[in-house]
Chain A
């Protein structure tokens, strides 16, 4: 039996505004609990919401980036439910008249195939606060700093057919919102949270299967794992003669297990109705046109530019344009050191490997673009060998300063003085006449081995500082000459 997976996503994207969607309180992450909650965010009696225009602009920018119509009259509604981190007892959101209408996102799969996912709509809403269940001796704490942070909820059509597709789409969406500068893209801090709707059906069947929704996945890896696990669970249920129950599920990414949160029967009646405290949001065609005119470069355009302007290959350009911060890092570094190819290699090699292994985002990279450029400059001018460069990189990563400081402190300067190297080479050749004999008598294959022996001796004698290129050149001329 072959099965087909059907996936739709809902993505909560925090907008990078300085203040909240309906109050003047700051949206900065990580402050002491409840220090960034104003009277409005606490839902004190008598307080009223006022829409933050920046949040509206950001939502419109997103709409334009996905080629969607902007609703000239969108409406905020109240979604009613009780929860301690929801201070008003309702969430102010949009339902029937969202700000962004239907659009689409194109993205490439690993094999190069281009795929399109349709966006059903995107709407503006406020985030809730957080419930803290630890350190309160059996009670729960409430932190309302996040309450009122502006979000756009992006809702896709059920257009994805595998976990890999869903992740590729999610990464493209991440690239779009970070390129627009409307979201900081920092998923570890909840800036983008994915709800995945998954169902399975027998290949060839037209009717969708019963779907489940797994909420609040905040990394691409968790998303991929959660989808794969859920697809398998659903297939197992059906193949065992059971039926999939429509329900909301939670995935614990650390323990890699999912559990049911609530079934459809327990679902709330949210009693949506238009919020009488906020007038319908009127957006003129001129306003939209003005935003369109100042729209930043989008990932597809950026990739094309990286190929054109820096002579990068398509593959590198795709990787470097995936995220606005990565592109910024690359362009800054390439500009400062004057070598795009080396900049790309280091960024996609050493840096990205280290970021991955430490679970860091490019924005939190301990090696700044300037410092990487400084390191590359010393490689280019032969001050250090590429082997030494790895050492220096490690030291920069550990916060020991910039490349020059570290090179000086550790005495890592590569010796590129050919006279000095000639002297060392001459000493080594003179000290190993037997090996010289063998070398001269040997075939190419054996010569390589012996060459390694000489280079090793020379590097040892130079305490690793001899320029390997020069060493090779001089050694060969001595041995062959």
Chain B
């Protein structure tokens, strides 16, 4: 059953080939048997999952089933789940049981999806390798000596190892697309404001966006249908109508104009990845798309711009973790200052502390103009690059990452690690939607094709992905040992 896509499982459930309870027990057994190898889950909730599966089976029997009734999924541990530990990959929240559900969690539950548990992640979503998690690194199912990418590495590995039918992820600078690419799955980062951020623990509020991580574009469309839409509790969520993302799947892409940014194919790109991405683009041309080279002139400013804005926002977002109301508190604080400093020194990991310091510095008196304000100006230039590009093309294509999954511990220099997100970060700065699709291998590890769409072009991206997946089988490949 686990080798099936969500679309296929929905059919199986509808035809009573199996019940959701059976499907859920099957995944729980797989997690039990295999996840010691990957460490993709922080928390597994068998009892809750089985209860939800039974409820979905009852709903199916009485005809009140939602669109995802009985499908076992996992949530990145950044989404608050009522009554279940929500750690955000941090010691700081190791004891935190959220008293409410994130909007994404509520909406997927209302559609009938069954939550198996919470997936591992870089601490507070700060990382590109899943090595910053308090719960230990996640290992890539394709090569367990390598990282799965991050920060949604647990979700990507769990989907790739078939330890859930799909998972939620969040993407601040590539945290859905990069691990999706490195684990050989499909990951969609929607337009900023498309999916509610309520209950999603904030890293960088102006960049964070939740999205689906699935085996196929079709499955991503099914999940996005449930996740997307205005939420009165998130002032930045948008009122643009939500289409049925599955309705346009399969439409022809003849005449689709694809732009290839010169800056995404330059120095630093692994040659095997370049060949695979070029081959994938040739596949799209065979389907009727036309290709032209474009310029995104401010590409090289994206990483430095991001590493001012994201840490600046994070430095304020993470101030609430002070040991006063919830979460970790140091032992025997002498006074208030001691409570703050030791709680935060002991509760946060290295990378989180580094970003809080960087962000605090960038906002400090005397530095604000040189860093934060300048970065905001650069951000507008980067956004304008895309606006200009979309005047001449429908989508932008390129590699998701410059390299395939690297070995655990291989990158110790933070800046080298930040550069792994060079092709994904600009998309967040511009607030655009983008999808990563499995598109081949480099060094025997999966790599991704990234398609960037215009604002609210999720349906188009999903359709192109679906057409691509009808023409290729990269998304059907599975790692050895997955069975």
Contact = CB atoms under 8 A, between A and B. Distances in A.
A80 B325 contact: no
B199 interface: yes
Contacts of A313: none
A35 to B, nearest CB: 15
Contact of B205 (A39, A271, A277): A277
A45 interface: yes
Contact of A80 (B86, B98, B316): B316
Contact of A89 (B100, B236, B322, B326): B322
A272 B368 CA distance: 9
A84 B198 contact: no
Nearest to A278: B235
B320 A43 contact: yes
Contacts of B406: none
Given A46-B201, A80-B363, A273 B316 contact: yes
A142 interface: yes
A84 B384 CA distance: 42
Interface in B360-403: 360, 363-365, 368, 372
A46 B319 contact: no
Interface in B286-345: 312-313, 315-316, 318-322, 324-326, 336, 340
A276 B208 CA distance: 11
Contacts of B96: 45
A279 B238 CA distance: 11
A39 B368 CA distance: 31
B230 to A, nearest CB: 12
B325 A87 contact: yes
Contacts of A44: 80, 98-100, 326
Given A44-B326, A45-B98, A50 B232 contact: yes
B357 to A, nearest CB: 13
Given A82-B340, A277-B235, A46 B363 contact: no
A45 B235 contact: no
B162 interface: no
How many chain B residues sit at the interface, stated as a range, is 35 or more
A84 B336 contact: yes
B42 to A, nearest CB: 15
A273 B232 CA distance: 24
A278 B325 CA distance: 24
B111 interface: no
Contacts of B233: 48, 50
A42 B325 contact: yes
B364 A45 contact: no
B372 A273 contact: yes
Contacts of A278: 235
B197 interface: yes
A194 to B, nearest CB: 27
A249 to B, nearest CB: 21
A303 interface: no
B200 interface: yes
A88 interface: yes
Contacts of A46: 79-80, 86, 98, 102, 197-202
Contacts of A43: 320, 325
A114 B384 CA distance: 55
A319 to B, nearest CB: 45
A46 B206 CA distance: 14
Contacts of A88: 316, 319-320
B235 A47 contact: no
A84 B318 CA distance: 15
A5 to B, nearest CB: 31
Contacts of A269: 364-365
Nearest to A90: B316
A379 interface: no
Nearest to A24: B233
Contact of B100 (A39, A50, A51, A90): A39
Given A273-B363, A277-B205, A48 B100 contact: no
Interface string A263-291: 00000010111001111000000000000
B80 A78 contact: no
B172 to A, nearest CB: 12
B45 interface: no
A89 B93 contact: no
Nearest to B231: A48
Nearest to A23: B233
28 contacts: A44-B326, A45-B80, A45-B98, A45-B320, A45-B321, A46-B80, A46-B102, A46-B198, A46-B199, A48-B233, A48-B234, A48-B235, A50-B235, A84-B322, A88-B320, A89-B322, A90-B316, A90-B319, A271-B315, A271-B316, A271-B364, A273-B312, A273-B368, A273-B372, A276-B236, A277-B205, A277-B235, A279-B235
Given A43-B320, A272-B363, 6 more contacts: A46-B198, A48-B235, A80-B319, A87-B325, A88-B320, A278-B235
3 tightest A-B CB contacts, nearest first: A89-B319, A276-B206, A276-B205
